[in-house]
Amino acid sequence: MSDNPGDFVLRDLSAELCLKCNICTTACPVAPVTDLFPGPKYVGPQADRFRAHGQRAPDQGSIDYCSGCGLCSLACPHGVNVAEINAQARGVFHRERGLSQRNRLLGRPEMLGKVGSALVPLSNLPLSFGPLRRVIELAVGIDHRAALPRFAKPTFRRRFSRHRAASGGGRKVVYFHGCGTNYYEPHVGEAAVAVLAHNGCEVVIGEQDCCGLAAQSNGDLETARALARANIAKLTPYVRDGYAVVGTSTSCTLSLKHEYRAILGLTGGKVNALAENTFDLFEFLWQLHLDGELREDFRPVPRRLAYHPPCQLEGHAMGHPATRVLSLVPELEIVETGEPCCGAGGTYGYKQEKYDIAVQVGAPVFEAIRSVPGEAALCDSETCRWWLAQQTGRRLLHPVEVLAEAYGLS
Which has more pLDDT, 341 or 13? 341
Whether 189 maps to a domain, the answer reads no
What digits encode the pLDDT tens for the residues 23-37? 999 999 999 999 999
Flag the least confident range among 2-16, 124-138, 336-350, 394-408: 2-16
Residue 374 placed within a domain: yes
Q: Is residue 147 part of a domain?
A: no
Q: Is the pLDDT of residue 188 over 90?
A: yes
Domain membership of residue 333 (yes or no) is yes
How much is the pLDDT for 48? 84
Indicate whether 57 pLDDT > 90: no
Within a domain: residue 148?
Answer: no
> Looking at the domain assignment, is residue 31 inside a domain?
yes
342 touches 387 (CB < 8 A)? yes
Q: Quote the pLDDT of residue 160.
A: 86
Q: What is the sign of the dihedral through the CA atoms of 34, 38, 41 and 47?
A: negative
Does position 171 have pLDDT exceeding 70, yes or no?
yes
Choice among 44-58, 237-251, 363-377 with the minimum mean pLDDT: 44-58
Q: Which amino acid is at 192?
A: A
Q: Say how many C-beta atoms besides its own lie within 10 A of residue 19's C-beta.
A: 12
**Residues above pLDDT 90, as percent of the chain:** 87
Last-in-domain residue among 34, 62, 97: 97
Residue 8 has what pLDDT? 40
> Is 103 within a domain?
no
Are 243 and 204 in contact, with CB atoms under 8 Å apart? yes
Encode pLDDT of 286-317 as tens digits.
Answer: 999 999 999 999 999 999 999 999 999 999 99
Q: Are 220 and 94 in contact (CB under 8 A)?
A: yes
What pLDDT, on the 0 to 100 scale, is given for residue 227? Answer: 98
Q: Is 399 helix (H, G, I), strand (E, B) or coil?
A: helix
Which CATH number goes with the domain that contains 319?
Answer: 3.40.50
Which of the listed residues 77, 97, 117 is the one where a domain comes to its end?
97
pLDDT range class, residue 12, cuts 50, 70, 90: low
Question: Hey, which bits of 148-243 come out as E strands?
Answer: 172-176, 202-204
Whether 124 shows a pLDDT value over 50: the answer reads: yes
Classify the phi-psi angles of 240: left when phi > 0, otherwise alpha if psi is within -120 to 50, otherwise beta: alpha
Domain stop point among 47, 71, 97: 97
Q: Largest alpha-carbon pair distance within the chain? A: 62
Peptide bond into 154 cis (omega under 30): yes
Instruction: Sheet with 332-336: list strands edge to edge.
Output: 332-336, 303-308, 376-379, 395-397
CA-to-CA dists, residue 18 to 15, 41, 158, 280, angstroms? 6, 8, 49, 31
- Among 126-130, 182-186, 237-241, the range scoring the smallest mean pLDDT is 126-130
pLDDT at 115: 97
User: Which CATH number goes with the domain that contains 78?
Assistant: 1.10.1060.10
Task: Single out the residue of 249, 277, 251, 273 nearest to residue 263, CA to CA.
Answer: 251
| Residue 265 included in any domain | no
Query: Domain span at residue 391?
Result: 296-407
Count how many domains the chain has.
Answer: 2
In one-letter notation, the amino acid at residue 231 is N
Which pTM value belongs to this model? 0.94
Q: Which residues contact 102 (CB under 8 A, 6 or more apart)?
A: 140, 141, 142, 351
What are the CA-CA distances from residue 9 to residues 5, 30, 101, 262, 406 (Å)? 12, 28, 27, 10, 46
DSSP per-residue letters across 112-154: HHHHHHHTTTGGGGGGG-HHHHHHHHHHH-B-TTS-PPPP-SS
pLDDT above 70: percentage of residues in the chain: 93
| One-letter amino acid of 249 | S
Where residue 1 falls among pLDDT bands split at 50, 70, 90? Answer: very low
